[in-house]
Structures are given as structure tokens and as C-alpha cells.
């Protein structure tokens, strides 16, 4: 399903815990972030934003129009160097070294980066 149609469907669908359905869909205006078929993934409030957790650890969220994901510090640096995103600062003036904000101009990479973040965080459980 194209991202635009997924977003339209997501805008009409409330977020439900992963245990109740096979996919967690987080509405994001023109795009949607999907963690399909993963019962370990659930929706949660993170930094006042809607996000996703695996187990009890956060791995992705939508924050001020950007996708924010947790990845290894070296991967965050590589994505920053390639101008794909920028280190995430939740407003305290100190960027978090394992979190990166990916703007809407990189929407095509959101789902893959969220899956990469999910796998990274799941390894630490």
C-alpha cells in the first residue's frame, strides 16, 4: 500500500496495543510508521510524543514532524554525516548520542530505520 494511502488509513485508526492487532500504526500526517506483525511492539508516550517500544524500551517516536529512532552512536554519526538526519535533542540543549531525528524529507527511509532501531533495541533486552 502506498505511503499516502497508509497515512490516510492511519489517520482514521486509533492506536491500539500490539497484543490486540497484528500491526501498530502511528499516524504521522502524510506518512505512517508501521511495525507489522510484531507482538513485542507496543505504542507509548515518549517525551510527550507518540512512540513505539519493544519490550519496555523505546525505539522510535514521532516528534515535531520528524521520526526519531534509537540506533548505535556510530550509525547516528554516519546518518548525520550523510545529512539524512540530525542528533535528537529533546529540548535540554544536549543531543542524545544514540537518537537521531529524521525529517519528513527523508520519509522514504522511515519504515526501514524504525525496523533497524527495533532490532537494535531488541538486542539490548
Question: 79-116: per-residue pLDDT in tens?
Answer: 999 999 999 998 888 999 999 999 989 988 988 898 89
- Condensed to tens digits (0 to 9), the pLDDT of residues 30-62 reads 334 445 567 788 888 887 888 888 888 999 998
Topology given in CATH for the domain delimited by 3-122: Yope Regulator; Chain: A, (3.30.1460)
At residue 20 the predicted structure's pLDDT band, cuts being 50, 70 and 90, is very low
Instruction: Report whether pLDDT(5) > 80.
Output: no
Q: Which residues pair with 25 in a beta bridge?
A: 34
Query: Which candidate, 94, 65, 97, 59, places its Cα nearest to that of 78?
Result: 97
pLDDT (mean) for 11-37:
46
* CA atoms in the 13 A half-sphere facing the CB of 118: 24
Cβ neighbour number for residue 95 with a 10 Å cutoff: 15
| pLDDT at site 35 | 54
Average pLDDT over residues 52-75: 91
**Where does residue 20 fall: left (phi above 0), alpha (psi -120 to 50 degrees), or beta otherwise?**
alpha
Cα–Cα distances in angstroms (integers) from residue 72 to residues 36, 82, 93, 110, in the given order: 23, 16, 21, 16
- pLDDT for residue 92: 84
Global model pTM greater than 0.85:
no
**In the chain, where the domains are located:** 3-122
Amino acid at each position: 500500500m502506498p505511503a499516502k494511502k497508509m497515512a490516510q488509513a492511519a489517520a482514521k485508526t486509533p492506536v491500539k496495543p500490539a497484543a490486540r492487532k497484528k500491526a501498530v500504526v502511528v499516524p504521522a500526517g502524510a506518512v505512517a510508521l508501521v511495525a507489522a506483525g510484531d507482538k513485542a511492539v507496543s505504542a507509548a508516550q515518549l517525551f510527550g510524543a507518540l512512540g513505539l517500544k519493544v519490550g519496555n524500551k523505546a525505539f522510535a517516536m514521532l516528534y515535531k514532524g520528524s521520526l526519531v529512532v534509537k540506533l548505535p552512536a556510530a550509525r547516528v554519526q554516519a546518518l548525520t554525516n550523510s545529512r539524512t538526519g540530525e542528533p535528537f535533542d529533546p529540548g535540554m540543549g544536549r543531543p542524545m548520542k544514540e537518537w537521531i531525528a529524521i525529517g519528513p524529507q527523508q520519509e522514504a527511509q522511515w519504515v526501514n530505520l524504525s525496523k533497524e532501531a527495533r532490532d537494535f533495541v531488541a538486542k539490548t533486552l
